[in-house]
Structure 1
Amino acid sequence: WKEVNVYQIYPMSFKDSNGDGIGDIQGIISKLDYLKELGIDVIWLSPIYRSPNFDMGYDISDYCSLDPRYGSIDDMHQLLKAMKERGIKLLMDLVVNHTSHLHPWFLQSSSSKLSPKRDWYIWRPPRIDESGNRHPPNNWDAIWGGSAWEWDENTQEYYLHLYLKEQPDLNWENIEVRRAVHELMRWWLDKGVSGFRMDVINLISKPEGLPDEPLENAGFTVFPVSIPNGPRVHEFLREMNEEVISKYDAMTVGETPWTHDPAILARYVKPSSKELNMVFTFHHVDIDGGVENSWKPIPWKLSSYKQIINKWQTYMHEHEGWNSIFIENHDQGRSLSRFGNDSAEYRSISAKMLAVGQICQGGTIYVYQGEELGMANVPPSWGIEEYKDVATQSYWKAILEKRRENSENPDMSDILKDLRKKARDNARTPVQWDDSPHAGFTSENATPWMRVNDDYTQWNATQQMNDPNSVRFFWKRALAFRKAHPVLIHGSFRLISPSDERVFAIERQHGDVTAIIVINFSGINVNFSFPQDSKIPKGLKLQLSNYENTDETLENISPTLVNLRPYEARVYL
């Protein structure tokens, strides 16, 4: 699992096989050869379970059956068989911090205070003030706004939901809940699944007593900071490993948001902990979001970005940890539009530059669907009606209501501009397979569940498959290159010129192999000089670049000078 290339599929937007406008399992099967040829070993599949879809499948009403829009269990068996024939393994998305409010567990839990499953969720009586008014049990906000508590008229208590009210949190303090989770994991592993990506797994253990959050930490879009990495989370994960994971040849990766300290997350992944193989940290992709409002893009500095990468790379390497390398997923805007340059002039070259930046970091690499094609954020012409994500719509409505206090028709152009950069919808547009109507995602007469990005006629898989200068061809080459050179996966990590605001330069070492990587993150020519104390070894030769180069060696001259073109990336070995 350390050396595999992982590819995330967001099924609703990947490939539709039956013309209903929604991606499905048969659509995935039809593209397995495409993924195998790209160099993919493992697929992480976002939720395909039965769900009312208040949060695009992350509100699950039955963990052991599939949403009919994606297919049947028979389709799933076909997928697993077809993947096995190609040597590709499958990670399912395990979403067990919460369920759907329509899950049978919650329907029973909410039916009566005397229900055997009452304690499967987190219920609390109201707080009553001096005037007799009812209030939630504490002051926690839900992540997308409003209280994290929902009043249940039937049983006269509140239940906790850190996300939508349609996503009640499970009570992991209850051993019966944990056993039920273990059982559903075994059910999928016995079917041939090879592991799990675990959704917000660092939230499953809540603070003892559920105390109020300090007022300075509470507020719209600010999550209660006391919740992540709760007091029993490691106990719960060790138990999960002992009862389930250790009994299978399974791979695990945990999503661990709101945690920017590698010392905290290393506890999850150290071999001695016997918990998870690796986790996702979001420190690096949080860099262009505001502290009080993550939807508001803010300027970022390359020096700050480098320090974040350096911190996680060095700490995990030195403390028996392991990194998950990514810059895109279903919850992030397209990296090309955030950290690269999606203009016509530099789109291809900067997409390749970002690819080099990832394949040269130590850890397991994750490629998000369409990233290998250089897919970009939605165009400026799109209105709010094109955005489908509940988080996007909730944020828009909250701002609109607030502004309507002062104006009947408030100007929302600034919010729309922010969403074009940061909304999750940017990553959820259908994959662009060819230049036919709807980019070949669905049939010509169908209506895709979400509009296809307008640039699909110029940017699509068919066009790039046989073009040696395409982004996809480069990704294929880069993934193979990474596998061929263990120094890029297992090597030590040393940052060169940390304060340089244009060039990201690093040294990797593994055994007797040294790699020097230099990446120009700017849109101008840069003459980069290695510091006097860099101790650049002799015999370095250019092995990978997103440009055609003539200077193929780095001479042992101090300072060594490298002339880099806009968004140029080079790997010397």
Structure 2
Amino acid sequence: MSPHADPLLHKPQWWKEATFYQIYPASFRDSNGDGWGDILGILEKMPYIASLGIDVVWLSPMFESPQIDMGYDISDYEAVYPPYGTVQDVEKLVHECHRNGMKLILDLVVNHTSDQHKWFQESRSSKDNPKRDWYFWRPARYDDNGNRMPPTNYRSYFAGGTWTWDEHTQEYYLHLYDKSQPDLNWENEDCRRAIYDSAMRFWLNKGIDGFRVDTVNKYSKHVNFPEAPVTDPNSFIQPAAQFWCNGPRIHEFIKEMNNDVLSKYSTYDGQAVVTVGELSMTPDPEGVLTYVSAREKELDMVFQFDITHLGQGPPGGNSKYDFAEWNLPKMKNIVKKWQTFIDGTDGWTTVFNENHDNGRSVSRFANDTPAWREKSAKMLALWLVVQTGTLFLYQGQEIGMINAPKEWSIDEYQDVEAHNYWKEAVRLAENGSDPTRKERIMHGLQLMARDHARLPFQWNSSENGGFTAGKPWMRTHDLYKEINAEAQEKNVDSVLSFYKQLLRLRKEHKEVFVYGTFELLDAENVSTFVFRKHYQEKTALVALNFTTAPQPAPPADDMTLLLSSYHKTGLNTLQPYEGRVYINY
């Protein structure tokens, strides 16, 4: 497709032009001193959120939950985890977002529930319970010596197997994640109808504006559960995502969800509600397009994770946190792939480089040392904000928050996934099968663990960064006195001020930044990332230096410098971690 392909194929929509801001409620703001962020804390900070230029707040799970997986193990879709507040508090948040001209979307977590959910409690109560088939139950297998074995050899996303034995009913149940997160059986129509009522209509009736749809391509499994091929000869359990990602009925299920539920609702100002799906293990653009083609009426857009998987091993395998070096051309090719896959189609794409499941972008993709972290944050901000697609920011990204210090021990990490991978690494190192594994996995966790994004938000220089007056559920970053929102709001040269300026420019030039087609230049350059954006006769040129040394700047004849991350720019030289964008009118 030509870089000048007609962007008018992409029908303008409110959600395409919106900037979304993800809030992780445990870590945003604690209003009552119990150490947990809460809904009232978000309400306190509504003026701050609005001041950024945000259009949509995405609130990560705040539902009733045992919190084994930080709320992604839901025990009641129609209740709120008490430390976060009440259903009435969420209703107030909906109202306040709307009053401030913003929309609110919630997480839709319906691949699995908590094992404490009443549905699962009923399902495991007996083999003839009406809800038995709402989850996946299978009998044991036995080896030649009569030892009990799970139904398959699948490895879960959180290390360990995907089947847990239930002593009461003498069968195994399936869980792709932690054993406390049994998978729902979407093959059962009664189960689907209950999901639509409890997890969706309940909140849509309260005025929310859509959903971020968790693990959206895992609802349809290959329910004959074939044995996974052995790719890790040192383990019984094997990666097996091919048996539960993009399964045989997945598009049928999503179309039904859209047709029966979502299409019946609108936003507070009369627009269609929005969906953005979490689409893992789908590396081919053709596969992604089947979910986001407007004519298919499934999802508005999805998160495709190639960019946040840079440096990770394959999801579902034991090498996720075994860091793999990458270079700038590899990053460029990923960006090009997902910027251009919508050319000439009726599909849409998303733009993000942080969320609750990944390390901070400054630490992962640039340089978080004191000399360079602010310049890195501004350069990455410019790189992100001028890309085509719907823009998603994660809390704290706008002030340049960075990963936890490398000096922190594994004991400071809270995430169930991190601890499961660490325990596995310790076992494999100590039994001699992989002697250096502990060091490698710790290095990977220091860069990529989910905990880094979950550190409490750094509001000011008071104790705990102003997040809480009590003891925070997770340790606050050591640098909260140096990196915090209050100081940056007073500084016109701060990362925060730069983000605000960029978001204004994105709206002012939305044709070329939101809808423009992408053209990569100098693809093999290992130091600079240069690309053009085109919209009819309008062109933008973006140049980014990903190094600590000056680099040659691309020629920008007959173009106007719209913005640089430095105050003073050299005409022919990009300064260390400088980002700049030129435009012609």
- Normalising to structure 1: TM-score of the pair? 0.94
Q: Say yes or no: does 1:397 pair with 2:423.
A: yes
Aligned equivalent of 1:484: 508
Distance of 1:324 and 1:410 partners within structure 2: 38
- SS of 1:310's equivalent in the other structure is helix
Q: Say yes or no: does 1:362 pair with 2:385.
A: no
* Equivalent AA in structure 1 for residue 23 of structure 2: I
Distance of 2:57 and 2:551 partners within structure 1: 38
Q: Say yes or no: does 1:9 pair with 2:33.
A: no
Contact 2:175 2:181 in 1 (8 A): yes
Contact 1:400 1:410 in 2 (8 A): no
Aligned equivalent of 1:283: 306
Superposed, 1:534-573 pairs within 5 Å as 539-550=558-569, 562-573=572-583
* Equivalent AA in structure 2 for residue 247 of structure 1: K
Superposed, 1:6-45 pairs within 5 Å as 6-45=20-59
Q: 1:317 offset after TM fit, Å?
A: 2.7
- Which of structures 1 and 2 has the larger relative contact order (alpha carbons within 8 angstroms, sep 6+)? 2
* Equivalent AA in structure 2 for residue 46 of structure 1: S
Aligned equivalent of 1:384: 410
Superposed, 1:446-465 pairs within 5 Å as 446-465=470-489
Q: Say yes or no: does 1:373 pair with 2:388.
A: no
User: After TM superposition, which residue ranges in structure 1, 4 or more long, deviate above 6 angstroms?
Assistant: none
Aligned equivalent of 1:559: none
**Residue in structure 2 matching 1:211, options 222, 226, 244:** 226
Q: Deviation per CA, 1:407-448, whole angstroms, max 9, x where unpaired?
A: 9x99945443332111111111000000000000001xx110
Contact 1:44 1:91 in 2 (8 A): yes
Aligned equivalent of 1:425: 451
Contact 1:143 1:223 in 2 (8 A): no
Superposed, 1:171-186 pairs within 5 Å as 171-184=185-198, 185-186=200-201
Superposed, 1:35-74 pairs within 5 Å as 35-74=49-88
Distance of 1:171 and 1:521 partners within structure 2: 46
Aligned equivalent of 2:98: 84
**Residue in structure 2 matching 1:244, options 227, 252, 261:** 261
Contact 2:231 2:238 in 1 (8 A): no
Aligned equivalent of 1:255: 278
Q: Deviation per CA, 1:211-254, whole angstroms, max 9, x where unpaired?
A: 11111279678453332111111110000100011111211000
Aligned equivalent of 2:10: none
Contact 2:216 2:277 in 1 (8 A): yes
Distance of 1:320 and 1:294 partners within structure 2: 33
Q: Say yes or no: does 1:469 pair with 2:493.
A: yes
Distance of 1:131 and 1:221 partners within structure 2: 22
Q: Say yes or no: does 1:269 pair with 2:292.
A: yes
Q: Deviation per CA, 1:57-95, whole angstroms, max 9, x where unpaired?
A: 100000001000100112112211211110111110000
CA RMSD of aligned residues (A): 1.8
Q: Say yes or no: does 1:499 pair with 2:524.
A: yes
Cα separation, partners in 2 of 1:217 and 1:324, compared to 1, 3 Å: farther
Aligned equivalent of 1:556: none
Q: 1:404 offset after TM fit, Å?
A: 2.8
Contact 1:404 1:410 in 2 (8 A): no
Superposed, 1:50-199 pairs within 5 Å as 50-184=64-198, 185-199=200-214
Contact 2:153 2:238 in 1 (8 A): no
Distance of 2:161 and 2:102 partners within structure 1: 43
* Equivalent AA in structure 1 for residue 548 of structure 2: G
Q: 1:33 offset after TM fit, Å?
A: 0.5
Aligned equivalent of 1:308: 334
Distance of 1:128 and 1:120 partners within structure 2: 25
* Equivalent AA in structure 2 for residue 471 of structure 1: V
Superposed, 1:343-362 pairs within 5 Å as 343-362=369-388
Q: Deviation per CA, 1:4-32, whole angstroms, max 9, x where unpaired?
A: 11000000000000000000000000001
Contact 1:217 1:224 in 2 (8 A): no
Distance of 2:516 and 2:67 partners within structure 1: 42
Q: 1:284 offset after TM fit, Å?
A: 1.3
Distance of 2:322 and 2:355 partners within structure 1: 19
Contact 1:506 1:516 in 2 (8 A): yes
**Structure 2 runs not aligned, ≥5 long:** 1-14, 267-272
Distance of 1:198 and 1:285 partners within structure 2: 18
Q: Deviation per CA, 1:20-57, whole angstroms, max 9, x where unpaired?
A: 00000000000010010011110111100000111011
Contact 1:208 1:231 in 2 (8 A): no
Cα separation, partners in 2 of 1:287 and 1:96, compared to 1, 3 Å: same
- SS of 2:82's equivalent in the other structure is coil
Distance of 1:478 and 1:333 partners within structure 2: 23
* Equivalent AA in structure 2 for residue 113 of structure 1: K
Contact 1:121 1:159 in 2 (8 A): yes
**Structure 1 runs not aligned, ≥5 long:** 531-535, 553-561
* Equivalent AA in structure 1 for residue 371 of structure 2: E
Cα separation, partners in 2 of 1:196 and 1:303, compared to 1, 3 Å: same
Aligned equivalent of 2:242: 225
Aligned equivalent of 2:325: 299
Contact 2:28 2:41 in 1 (8 A): yes
- Give aligned pairs, total: 555
Contact 2:231 2:239 in 1 (8 A): no
Q: Say yes or no: does 1:333 pair with 2:350.
A: no
Q: 1:542 offset after TM fit, Å?
A: 0.6
Contact 1:217 1:225 in 2 (8 A): no
Aligned equivalent of 1:557: none
Distance of 1:194 and 1:490 partners within structure 2: 23
Q: 1:299 offset after TM fit, Å?
A: 1.2
Q: Deviation per CA, 1:464-508, whole angstroms, max 9, x where unpaired?
A: 002111000001111111111121100111111111111111111
Contact 1:326 1:367 in 2 (8 A): yes
Mean alpha-carbon deviation: is it higher for 394-403 or for 32-41?
394-403
Distance of 2:37 and 2:504 partners within structure 1: 28
Distance of 1:363 and 1:106 partners within structure 2: 39
Q: 1:294 offset after TM fit, Å?
A: 1.3
* Equivalent AA in structure 1 for residue 487 of structure 2: Q
Contact 2:228 2:240 in 1 (8 A): no
Contact 2:22 2:395 in 1 (8 A): yes
Contact 1:128 1:135 in 2 (8 A): yes
- SS of 1:253's equivalent in the other structure is strand
